[in-house]
């Protein structure tokens, strides 16, 4: 059985690679998100929700999709922080119409 440290290292290295790829591919991720914080959040979420076997069974494409979704939500949250109450009401209404 692998130690927790080895499991964390396996997950960390793969996530670092995926985040680097996504930030290189989508410059807005690199501009608006902190690399280290993003890696830490993704590692934490994956350790909490997936066994090492499940994680290892994920294709790179699945891992990219998962990571990109979380990163996109984080960017949306940052954008929302700067909204005035009126802008937030307009945004909420636009989302409801979709």
**pTM as predicted:** 0.78
Checking if the pLDDT of 98 tops 60, the result is no
Q: Is 60 helix (H, G, I), strand (E, B) or coil?
A: helix
% of residues, the chain, pLDDT over 90: 51
Which residues form the domain of 70?
A: 4-97
3-state helix, strand, coil in the chain (%, to 5): 85, 0, 15
Domain count, the chain: 1
Average pLDDT, the chain: 88
Question: Across residues 14-24, what is the average pLDDT?
Answer: 97
């Amino acid at each position: 059985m692998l130690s927790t440290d080895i499991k964390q290292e396996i997950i960390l290295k793969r996530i670092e690679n995926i985040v680097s790829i996504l930030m290189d591919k989508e410059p807005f991720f690199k501009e608006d998100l902190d690399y280290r914080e993003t890696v830490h959040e993704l590692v934490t979420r994956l350790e909490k929700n997936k066994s090492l076997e499940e994680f290892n069974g994920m294709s790179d494409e699945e891992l990219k999709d998962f990571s990109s979704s979380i990163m996109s939500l984080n960017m949306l949250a940052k954008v929302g922080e700067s909204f005035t109450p009126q802008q937030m009401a307009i945004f909420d209404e636009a989302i409801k119409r979709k």
